Structure 1
Amino acid sequence: MKVRSEARRSAIIATAAELFKEAGYERASMNELAKRLGGSKATLYNYFSSKEELLVAVVQAYATGHLAEAMTSLTTEQQNEDLKTVLLRFGESMLVVLTNDGEALSIYRMIIAEASHSDVGMLFYRSGPSQCIEALAKLLAQAMTRGEIADADPQLRALQFLSLLTAETELRLYQRQPQPLERHQIRQLVNNAVEMFMAGALVGIVK
């Protein structure tokens, strides 16, 4: 029974993702979703209490799930590793998905399109990015305490690093079918971001 339930939940999430991309979050209805799945709305609500909860599940499955893996390198104690090493690993884990996962890009585009006239943007933000920012800010605060980088607002520094990390990939949002990047290209993008960030974050350190 549990296996069938998990399979059904996955099927609902996959079908909802397609519906959201086609119709947009606001126009997508639970009636249409039930029709596509060949069941009833009552069945859907047994798995998800609301369309908002279903959206969060879709976002986590296709657009922000990679953040949990990336955050592992931030929340796990890394012995004998400096901040730069951790940021390089974190950045590569993020960009592998952001540059090569078509489903994640499609969901992200849908979120951007809907954000101006619904709460979908903040639902997306709270389902992953906000947690990533907090984990990164905590890591940077610890690095400041150790004297690896200059004292500053850790959350601001986290936002600045993420902006640098995605700066060279932003164009992909506007391209019809962006080409996947090779691993060595991703590593170069991450290295560019980390080098720039560390150069700025070290300003104020007394040598």
Structure 2
Amino acid sequence: MRVKTDEKRQEIVAVATKIFGEMGYHEASMSAISAALGGSKATLYGYFKSKEQLFAAVLTDALEEYGSQVFDALETRHDADLKTVLHEFGHAYLTFVTTPEVMSLGQNAMTQKFSEDLGPELYKNGSQKGWRRVEHFMTAKLDEGALSAPSALVASLQLKGLLESGILEPLRYGCEPHVTFDEAVDYAVAAFLGAYGAQPAS
């Protein structure tokens, strides 16, 4: 019996990421992935029981590897004012979600109907996990009095919507964004702080 290794799993995920990106989820096959690996399908199925499970690993690993760096910034910039931190986070977030790899994986994910168990698990370990970290950051700012909002979670998700507005939708259709990244971040942060920024005492 062959021993599974992390190195082999990482190799499989890396090759699968490339194949899914080039062919799309529906056209990609376990045969194509195993051929690109130069091994057998038996080895591939030894690590992942299905194409769906492999795609979920590709998506989760990408979000964990690159997305965590984006959300880490919120937890390490204790020396900066809130507006500066939100600007830095906004730029990092938009840069991350608009990379060709993430755009391709996201489009593939949106067109794939996942199984009853895998879909929720993928969401919880991916996008939701990252934005829960933003929620924790917002909660800390509420406790400090730097923000005034009825819900840290809703405020976090509204920031997400503001940042993505005018950027992601046109890109998904192969069109130019309506605004530049700088404009998107400036407008988003201004609107967010206008709604939830703590007002100075009169």
TM-score of the aligned structures, taking structure 1 as reference length: 0.76
Confirm whether residue 191 of structure 1 aligns to residue 186 of structure 2.
yes
Q: How does 1:126-165 map to 2 (within 5 A)?
A: 126-165=124-163
Partners of 1:20 and 1:123 lie apart in 2 by 20
Q: Hey, what does 1:174 align to over in structure 2?
A: 173
Aligned to 1:86: 85
**1:56 corresponding residue in structure 2:** 56
Q: How do 1:71-110 residues align onto structure 2 when only pairs under 5 Å count?
A: 71-76=71-76, 78-99=77-98, 101-110=99-108
Mapping of residues 36-51 of structure 1, within 5 Å: 36-48=36-48, 51=51
2:16 paired with 1:16: yes
Look up the SS of the partner of 1:152 in the other structure.
coil
Cα deviations by residue, 1:141-196 (Å, 9 ceiling, x for unpaired): 111111111131111111100010111212111116x59x9xxx423321221111
Query: Residue type of the partner of 1:73?
Result: A
Moved more, 186-195 or 153-162: 186-195
Indicate the SS of the match to 2:79.
coil
Q: Matches of 1:151 and 1:63 in 2, distance apart? A: 28
Which runs of at least 4 in structure 1 moved beyond 6 Å after TM superposition?
Answer: none
2:87 touches 2:186 (CA, 8 Å); kept in 1? yes
Change (3 A) 1:155 1:42: same
Aligned 8 A contact 1:112 1:121 in 2: no
Matched letter for residue 70 of structure 1: V
Measure, in 2, the Cα distance between the counterparts of 1:52 and 1:108: 14
How far residue 13 of structure 1 moved from its aligned partner, in angstroms, is 1.9
- CA offset at residue 103 of structure 1? 1.8
**Change in 2 beyond 3 A, CA 1:96/1:23:** closer
Amino acid at match of 1:200: A
Deviation of the 1:86 alpha carbon:
1.6
Cα deviation for residue 60 of structure 1 reads: 3.8
Task: Give distance in 1, aligned partners of 2:72 and 2:6.
Answer: 28
Q: CA deviation at 1:127?
A: 3.2
Indicate the residue corresponding to 1:118 in structure 2.
114
Give yes or no for contact 2:135–2:153 (8 Å, CA) kept in 1. Answer: yes
State the one-letter code of the partner of 1:111. Answer: A
- When the two chains are superposed, the root-mean-square deviation of aligned CA atoms in Å is 3.1
Cα separation, 1, equivalents of 2:147 and 2:200: 7
Distance 1:113 1:83 in 2: 37
Contact 1:66 1:93 in 2 (8 A): no
CA distance in 2, matches of 1:5, 1:134: 28
Query: Percent same amino acid at aligned positions?
Result: 27
TM-score in terms of structure 2 length: 0.78
**Aligned length in residues:** 193
